[in-house]
Structure 1
Amino acid sequence: MSYSALILAGGRATRMGGQDKGLLELFGQPLIAHTLSALAAQTPAPARILISANRHLDAYRAFGHPVLPDTLPDYPGPLAGLLAGLAAAPHDTLLMLPCDAVRLPAELATRLLTALDGGIDAASASDPEHWHPTLLALRPGLQGALEAYLAGGGRSIRGWLATLEHRIVPFDQALPNLNTPDALAALAAAGPAGLA
């Protein structure tokens, strides 16, 4: 079960006050370092890792993985980062995840990738409270479909998924959603055990 992983760190993070979210620190490490650790704990781990970023490119390159800026102007959202990832790995099954995915079930990749069996284009994760469309597995060959959706003015990942054969995979544990300073502060207050 070979796949590439794409970490989304290229957004404006407006709910984080415009800070570069992947480089915000939690327990002395940037969020993206925690995300990389969560990826390494997957069974199986990804064959390669790509990072979608548009700011502080050298800081992201220091993690030792290819860094992909958006090919579309004006930060059009996570789909622009995904498009760059699909272009960089056109023949790979892709697991996409946000840079705040600091705590993941070890079986996340296996369950999402297995859900692609039987002609499914995409599989995303949900937890008891939220659907997480950016925790997403995609079969190879979807670059053209995404290019067409974006060329037509589409920007919503939920809207694009609605055009595909898409399956939602439920998980029992809460999945990370660190979109605000309060959410990050609450996880920090819980201590490192909160990442277990």
Structure 2
Amino acid sequence: MRRIGQGTLRFVVFDAVVLAGGRATRLGGADKAAVEVNGTTLLERTLAAVRAAHRVVVVGDEHPTSRPVLWTREHPPYGGPVAATYAGLEALRRGSPVRLTGQKAEMTRQPHGSTPLVVLAVDMPGVGEGTVRRLVAGMQGHDGAVLVDGGRRHLAFAVEAEALARVRPAEVAGAAMRGLWASLDLADVPARDDEAYDVDEWSDLEPS
């Protein structure tokens, strides 16, 4: 595998999809991507986790960002994480985003082949670059790898783009992520520290 230089994520170049378009019902319909944790929005925290990604597509409503990203939405909107994951994959494969924003934004076409794709939910502030590094490293010999805590799989996983395309459900809207995961050979990557912590309710933001 082609490796990246010292001090960065040392594995093949990857793309990333950030899932940021849910209804956030338990947050009263708030824009979860804009919710702040210790002064930084959930979206910016997630973008920092995939800092080494070649390209990032955010599936959700557009926000100002500190780095160039692709923006898209699943159709119909609020179709769930499986629909959003495939909307992100399709945006990358089209080679032309709904909108590209950020500093010095550039867009290039790139054949995907077996390019790793990192998929992260926007509401997991404990996920960082180290998490991404372990997920991609855990893919070796598998279709991908998924973050696991207490036997529960979380919306933080890495997968070969071709494997993801191969198991696409006939109907992605409303499809269960656990069903998609079951159709893939995924290695479990144990969560560390607060990596499995997610923000579902306002109480999740209160000091423990």
User: Is TM > 0.5 for Structure 1 vs Structure 2?
Assistant: yes
The superposition leaves residues 93-116 of structure 1 with CA deviations (integer Å, 9 ceiling, x where unpaired) of: 100111123222542222211222
Q: How many residues align?
A: 175
Structure 2 unaligned regions, length at least 5: 1-11, 94-111
- 1:13 matched to 2:24: yes
Give the secondary-structure state (helix, strand or coil) at the position aligned to 1:89.
Answer: helix
Q: Hey, what's the Cα distance between the residues in 1 that align with 2:42 and 2:172?
A: 33
Q: 1:163 to 1:16 in 2, by over 3 A?
A: same
- 2:101 paired residue number: none
Normalization by structure 2: what TM-score?
A: 0.74
Compare the two structures and name the one with the higher helix fraction. Answer: 1
In the TM superposition, what are the counterparts of 1:23-62 in structure 2 within 5 Å?
23-40=34-51, 45-53=52-60, 55=61, 57=62, 59-60=63-64
Give the fraction of aligned pairs with identical amino acids, expressed as a percent.
29
Deviation string 1:135-168 (CA, Å, 9 cap, x unpaired) is 010102122422xx14287611011111111221
Q: Deviation at 1:34?
A: 2.0
**Alpha-carbon distance, 1:30 to partner:** 2.1
Which residue in the other structure is 2:7 paired with?
Answer: none
User: Does structure 2 retain, via aligned residues, the 8 Å contact 1:22–1:30?
Assistant: yes
Runs of 4+ off more than 3 Å:
60-64
Task: State the match for 1:194 in structure 2.
Answer: none
Structure 2 SS opposite 1:66 = strand
Q: Does structure 2 retain, via aligned residues, the 8 Å contact 1:123–1:137? A: yes
* Counterparts of residues 55-134 of structure 1 (less than 5 Å): 55=61, 57=62, 59-60=63-64, 64-70=68-74, 72-90=75-93, 91=112, 92-118=115-141, 120-127=142-149, 129=150, 131-134=152-155
Q: Measure the CA separation in 1 of the matches of 2:183 and 2:29.
A: 31
- How far 1:7 sits from its partner (Å)? 1.0
Residue segments in structure 1 that go unaligned for 5+ positions in a row:
191-196
Q: What letter corresponds to residue 23 of structure 1 in structure 2?
A: A
1:173 counterpart residue number: 193
Matched residue, 2:104: none
Distance 1:17 1:10 in 2: 14
Cα contact 1:122–1:161 (8 A) shared by 2: no
Partner amino acid, structure 1, of 2:143: D
Q: Return the TM-score normalized by structure 1.
A: 0.78
Q: Name 1:145's counterpart in structure 2.
A: 167
